[in-house]
Chains A and B, each alone.
Chain A
Amino acid sequence: MEKSKLLTISSKTLPNDRTRFNRGLLAAGGAAYLAWWFVVESLLPGSFNPLFGRLVVVSLFFLVLILSYLSAVVRSHIGTCFSACAWIVTLHYFYLFHNNHSDVNWTIGSYIIVIALCACLESTLLLRYYVLFVTGLSLLIGLFDPVVVKTVFLSGMLTILAFAYFGMTAKLKLLKQVGEQALGLQNLFDAVFEGVVIHDQGVVIDTNQSFDKMFGYGQGEARGKLVTEFASPQAQAIVRENIGANSEMPYEAEGKRKDGFCFPIEIRGKRHFFRGKNLRIAAIRDVTEEKKVEQVRVLLNASREAIKIHDEFVLVASHELKTPLSAIKMQTQIVKRKIQKGGANAPDLESVEKVAEFIERQVDKLIRLTVDMVDVSKISLGKLDMQVSLLNFSMLAEETAKGLSEALAEAGSQLTIEMRPGVFVEGDSFRLEQVIVNLLVNSLKYGSGKPVRISLTGRDQDAVLEVEDLGIGLAKTDQARVFQRFERAVSSRDISGLGLGLFICKYIVEAHHGKIEVVSELGKGARFSVKIPIAHTSDVQDGDVRHNTTS
């Protein structure tokens, strides 16, 4: 019968118990037998009770006891040594019994000794031999002493031996049952899907089959290892923490297989008292699949979200595109109408030129919009092209600002230009122009017709370009949002726009190793600052700033 591993724990990992027990028996037995002599002397004076023989037997007990500390051979066979002593004691006592002419007190004494010794012999084999030995001795005494046969001695002794023998058999049967139960438990232990590990202060005592399979170890190979050996380096701390805290809550960690492969696991452990030891038993689940499903779900949600944003954007974009398209369509229809009507209405060259300019303006608007959309896509794909060179940022900013000053003025937003000349940066002039245009167009849109200021200064190692307006401003909560794709701080119902501009600006600025920020208060306007590292400045004095106001 395959003894369950649990039951074998006691003999393998706690070897001292049996040795200690047997040593105890030897000491107690020796002392008791010696004391017995005194009892006999006082209670049964005149009996055949030689001290010398007694002392020899007792010293044998103690001799074996002492040898068990000195010799490994004796220590490992201490059970058998005790059994030998038991035989010698029995033989000695039966000798005394015979010489005391089977006195009834001595009969009782014999019973006591035999019972005691049977109880102390726990091994089946040793008991069997002892029983045979005593039976033989008892029958022998009967031969020497026919009187004994007539007394209760023989029958009593045989009864006792029978009890001892059958008692042992019953105990064995019980043990076998327990063993089978344990075996059943062992099967259950192994049948559990989760990996189960039992450890004592972090030292693995036992693992089930699922655990062994999960971590790639052979049966029983994991025993004796530290539990932390089964956790990945990153998970060491959390595993130790949970064990130390005796936590019974499930927690996530990372397991490490024998071949070093790490995988996500979920652990749940609890305390388990067993034979006076405070053990911890933990169930481990491989959650790799679960994690994968989770990841897929997260990705799916993110995709759905992205598609939603994209669809919304398409709606907004189509609206933006329709405005210049409507204007173009109307304009062309007007021309046709005018031609149809003829006469005073017929278009002359001057009006045709105006119409052409008008249409061109609208087309430019459309181009800007589509370029923005393409840029955003390129950014998403990581493909926004930039050609870097050393450029005069001051000049670029001033020219761009001047180009837009007319449009701003028309909306009532007088543009003030304050450029520190000679500021050079490493960058893409086309892209930086895009940024400046974007900021100025925003101030036009959201500036509520109030003055706008654009300035360029040097601060520490950076060129700082600021565009400030006194328009509707931005709430604190929106200030971070506006730089995101498709985000706008105003409802799309109020002001037209794609919400791409600042996103593109941020990307471009950051690609120039710069930073873009906004300082604003709702209703009090906004100041956008762009910081880009300076390549070098040409020789100018501080305070040498040119002011330019256009009306």
Chain B
Amino acid sequence: MGTLGTILLVEDDVDLHEVTKAFLELEGFEVASAFNGQQALDALLGGLKPNLILLDLMMPVMNGYVFLSIFTAHQPPFGTSVVILSAAADVTETAKKFDVPFVKKPLDITLLAKLIKR
């Protein structure tokens, strides 16, 4: 079957990144990888047009918060929705602030699947 879409996965932990990517690919998505906010921005500016961005918050170089502020400042040119995927304690406030949905770690696959289907 063809891909259901492209997801940009922004997560710095190598293992977690690997396993999330494996899961998403299993479900039939194409996954682009970024290990920090800077890489994610570079990918987007380089022409990548993902349907969804799964964003971790705690990353080096450029963390999720900074990425979000830059990203939301440039909507709608990117035309993508963002879902925050984080274990950070202040996820709820950040999500509200930027008006994006979020999923807490550890990840519940069914919840993620539902969100992605949207």
Q: Is residue A494 within 8 Å, beta carbon to beta carbon, of the partner chain?
A: yes
What separation, in Å, do the CA atoms of A334 and B60 have in the docked complex? 27
Q: Which candidate, A63-71, A217-225, A235-243, A316-324, is the interface stretch facing chain B?
A: A316-324
Q: Which candidate, A248-256, A262-270, A325-333, A510-518, is the interface stretch facing chain B?
A: A325-333
Say how far B91's CB is from chain A's closest CB, in angstroms. Answer: 10
Q: Is residue B19 within 8 Å, beta carbon to beta carbon, of the partner chain?
A: yes
Q: Please name all residues of chain A whose beta carbon is closer than 8 Å to the beta carbon of B106 when the two chains form the complex.
A: 322, 325-326, 328-330
Q: Is residue A21 within 8 Å, beta carbon to beta carbon, of the partner chain?
A: no
A322 touches B105 (CB 8 A): yes
Interface size class of B (residues with CB under 8 A): 20 to 34
Tell me which of B15, B27, B87 contacts A358 (CB under 8 A). Answer: B15
- Tell whether A319 pairs with B87 under 8 Å between CB atoms, given A327-B13, A333-B23, A361-B15: yes
What separation, in Å, do the CA atoms of A337 and B113 have in the docked complex? 12
B59 touches A494 (CB 8 A): yes
Say how far A155's CB is from chain B's closest CB, in angstroms. Answer: 111
Q: Is residue B65 within 8 Å, beta carbon to beta carbon, of the partner chain?
A: yes
- Tell whether A334 pairs with B26 under 8 Å between CB atoms, given A322-B106, A326-B87: yes
A329 touches B87 (CB 8 A): no
Q: Is residue B107 within 8 Å, beta carbon to beta carbon, of the partner chain?
A: yes
Tell me which of B14, B16, B60 contacts A330 (CB under 8 A). Answer: B16
Say how far B61's CB is from chain A's closest CB, in angstroms. Answer: 8
B16 touches A494 (CB 8 A): no
Q: Is residue A125 within 8 Å, beta carbon to beta carbon, of the partner chain?
A: no
What mask results when residues 16 to 40 of chain B are scored 1 for a CB within 8 Å of chain A, else 0? 1011101100110000000000000
- Tell whether A327 pairs with B16 under 8 Å between CB atoms, given A319-B58, A493-B57, A493-B65: yes
What mask results when residues 38 to 80 of chain B are scored 1 for a CB within 8 Å of chain A, else 0? 0000000000000000000111110101000000000000000
Query: Which residues of chain A from 439 to 481 have a CB within 8 Å of any chain B CB?
Result: none
B87 touches A323 (CB 8 A): yes
Q: Please name all residues of chain B whose beta carbon is closer than 8 Å to the beta carbon of A337 when the two chains form the complex.
A: 23, 26-27, 109
Say how far A481's CB is from chain B's closest CB, in angstroms. Answer: 19
Q: Is residue B88 within 8 Å, beta carbon to beta carbon, of the partner chain?
A: yes
A323 touches B13 (CB 8 A): yes
Query: Which residues of chain B from 84 to 118 have a CB within 8 Å of any chain A CB?
Result: 87-89, 105-107, 109
What separation, in Å, do the CA atoms of A319 and B56 have in the docked complex? 12
- Tell whether A324 pairs with B15 under 8 Å between CB atoms, given A319-B89, A493-B63: yes
Q: Please name all residues of chain A whose beta carbon is closer than 8 Å to the beta carbon of B27 when the two chains form the complex.
A: 337
Q: Please name all residues of chain B whose beta carbon is closer than 8 Å to the beta carbon of A328 when the two chains form the complex.
A: 106
Say how far A381's CB is from chain B's closest CB, in angstroms. Answer: 27
B109 touches A492 (CB 8 A): no
- Tell whether A329 pairs with B107 under 8 Å between CB atoms, given A319-B89, A323-B16: yes
What separation, in Å, do the CA atoms of A331 and B22 have in the docked complex? 9
What separation, in Å, do the CA atoms of A410 and B15 have in the docked complex? 12
Q: Please name all residues of chain B whose beta carbon is closer than 8 Å to the beta carbon of A341 when the two chains form the complex.
A: 26
Q: Is residue A1 within 8 Å, beta carbon to beta carbon, of the partner chain?
A: no
A358 touches B19 (CB 8 A): yes
Query: Which residues of chain A from 247 to 297 have a CB within 8 Å of any chain B CB?
Result: none
Say how far A324's CB is from chain B's closest CB, in angstroms. Answer: 7
Q: Please name all residues of chain B whose beta carbon is closer than 8 Å to the beta carbon of A361 when the two chains form the complex.
A: 15
Q: Is residue A345 within 8 Å, beta carbon to beta carbon, of the partner chain?
A: yes
Q: Is residue A496 within 8 Å, beta carbon to beta carbon, of the partner chain?
A: yes
A319 touches B88 (CB 8 A): yes
Q: Please name all residues of chain A whose beta carbon is closer than 8 Å to the beta carbon of B14 when the two chains form the complex.
A: 410
- Which of B19, B20, B107, B109 has the most chain A CB atoms inside 10 A of its CB? B19
What separation, in Å, do the CA atoms of A482 and B20 have in the docked complex? 33
Q: Is residue A310 within 8 Å, beta carbon to beta carbon, of the partner chain?
A: no
What separation, in Å, do the CA atoms of A12 and B59 have in the docked complex? 87
Say how far B115's CB is from chain A's closest CB, in angstroms. Answer: 15
What mask results when residues 353 to 392 of chain A are scored 1 for a CB within 8 Å of chain B, else 0? 0000010011000000000000000000000000000000
What separation, in Å, do the CA atoms of A326 and B106 have in the docked complex? 4
Q: Is residue A495 within 8 Å, beta carbon to beta carbon, of the partner chain?
A: yes
B23 touches A334 (CB 8 A): yes
Q: Is residue A173 within 8 Å, beta carbon to beta carbon, of the partner chain?
A: no
What separation, in Å, do the CA atoms of A327 and B23 have in the docked complex? 11
A496 touches B58 (CB 8 A): yes
B63 touches A327 (CB 8 A): no
What separation, in Å, do the CA atoms of A338 and B109 have in the docked complex? 13
What mask results when residues 492 to 516 of chain A are scored 1 for a CB within 8 Å of chain B, else 0? 1111100000000000000000000
Q: Please name all residues of chain A whose beta carbon is closer than 8 Å to the beta carbon of B12 when the two chains form the complex.
A: 496
- Which of A324, A330, A345 has the most chain B CB atoms inside 10 A of its CB? A330
What mask results when residues 334 to 351 of chain A are scored 1 for a CB within 8 Å of chain B, else 0? 100110010001000000
- Tell whether A326 pairs with B105 under 8 Å between CB atoms, given A319-B87, A334-B23, A493-B57: yes
What separation, in Å, do the CA atoms of A55 and B20 have in the docked complex? 133
B13 touches A330 (CB 8 A): no
Query: Which residues of chain A from 96 to 116 have a CB within 8 Å of any chain B CB?
Result: none
- Tell whether A326 pairs with B58 under 8 Å between CB atoms, given A493-B65, A494-B63: no
Of all chain B residues, the one with the shortest Cβ separation from A472 is B60
* A contacts, CB < 8 Å to B: 315, 318-319, 322-331, 333-334, 337-338, 341, 345, 358, 361-362, 410, 490-496
Name 4 extra pairs, CB < 8 A, besides A322-B106, A493-B63.
A330-B107, A358-B15, A358-B18, A495-B60
8 A-B pairs in the complex with CB atoms less than 8 angstroms apart: A322-B105, A330-B16, A333-B23, A333-B109, A410-B14, A494-B58, A496-B12, A496-B13
The 9 closest A-B pairs by CB, nearest first: A322-B87, A326-B106, A326-B105, A329-B106, A327-B16, A330-B19, A319-B87, A322-B105, A333-B109
* B contacts, CB < 8 Å to A: 12-16, 18-20, 22-23, 26-27, 57-61, 63, 65, 87-89, 105-107, 109
